[in-house]
Amino acid sequence: MKNNCKTKSIIFVLLITIALFLCACERNQPTETPGAASEQTGQTEQPGQPEQTGQPGQTGQPGQTGQPVQTGQPGQPGQPGQPGQPGQTEQPGQPDKGVTEPKQSLSFLFFSDTQADPETGDYSGFGEVLTLALSRYANPDLIIFGGDTINDGGNADEWREFWEASAPLSGLTTAAAPGNHDAHLLAEQFDYPAKAPANQGEGYFYSFNRGPVHFIMLDSNIMGAANDKEIQWLRMDLESDAAGQASWRVAVMHHPMWPVTENPKDAARAATMREHFLPLMEEYGVDLILCGHQHVYARSVPMSGDKVVSGGAIVQIMAASGGKGSYVAGSWEYISAIAAAPNYLHITADDETLTVAACDGSAEPFDTFAITR
């Protein structure tokens, strides 16, 4: 009995000691305000509060995680490195508004029959016409001559006199079709045919592209013979990618397809050209014929063969720019406008419109004409 009492006393003392120890530990434990960040090791933040790592749309500081970076506002192409708003994505398939492909354009001058009066050999008259044209239409992309540039194409001295009067052409690109006076040495005088592609035909048949225009330069001196070789060359050229991809097809030839003066030889040649060459031009969509030879300005109405049509057909424009004087034009139903020499053409073209202004020494063009797609 005595031993049992002693054991119970020892157990009671131990329980009292343990209780006192636990109370002391509880008093030493630090208190914490709910939601406050703790600096003690092992303390955690309140659930759902992520570590702050920079403002939205900005990259975080080292050691921090930033918000998602986006390359552009919705519906617009993103700028490299430009942040967007979190959680947004670009809208697919939105085009860049206001940006269009640049149009092709071309500005060129056309002169024909620039030869001097053979009695004087003076080219100063054409020099004045040329100077006036370049002062009115500065920096053209191309200068085209429609034949009979001088009286004797085999005369080097006359070529020298022509170029002395034509000094303002320095630095400009030139092209020429042969006339009945100047077929000799033509390639030695102008950029084209000298730079013409290798597929040029016999004589001076060649073509080239500038801007939206495919130029077909024809030697009408031999077209009156209607040789199959020249006919097939024209077909091959008009079927080429160079012709098909151009917005406009312009044929340049010295003799007219539709004459305006009474000349049996010119009429016979024109009839042959209309029979053998014109159908190809119509089939492959030639828009304009530029010519000379008859020393007068004349613009035709749209023509199909020998018939006047209302539109959608070839128009022929004849110019005369030299000092030989004008011939007398007859009365033809296909002539829409006519004027005396000297004159020249300023032509502009883009992918949609081809515009012709016929000019002389007056302040404004005396005839204008346009074709639109």
Tokens of 80: 């490299």
For residue 154, give every residue at least 6 positions away whose Cβ sits within 8 Å of its Cβ, in sequence order, or none.
184, 185
- The predicted-structure confidence for 61-111, as pLDDT tens digits, reads as follows 434 433 433 333 333 333 333 333 333 333 333 333 344 445 689 999 999
- The predicted-structure confidence for 118-136, as pLDDT tens digits, reads as follows 888 999 999 999 999 999 9
Q: Determine contact, residues 161/121, Cβ cutoff 8 Å.
A: yes
Query: How high is the pLDDT of residue 166?
Result: 97
For strand 174-176 and strand 142-145, is the pairing parallel, antiparallel, or unpaired? Answer: parallel
If pLDDT is split at 50, 70 and 90, which confidence band does 324 have?
A: confident
- Domains belonging to the chain, first-starting first, are 105-372 (3.60.21.10)
Mean pLDDT of 294-304: 96
Tokens of 334: 């296909």
Residue 60 clears pLDDT 50, i.e. is over it:
no
Query: How high is the pLDDT of residue 195?
Result: 84
Q: What is the mean pLDDT of the chain?
A: 80
CA atoms within 13 A on the CB side of 101: 5
Q: Determine contact, residues 230/222, Cβ cutoff 8 Å.
A: yes
CA nearest 356: which of 323, 319, 303? Answer: 319
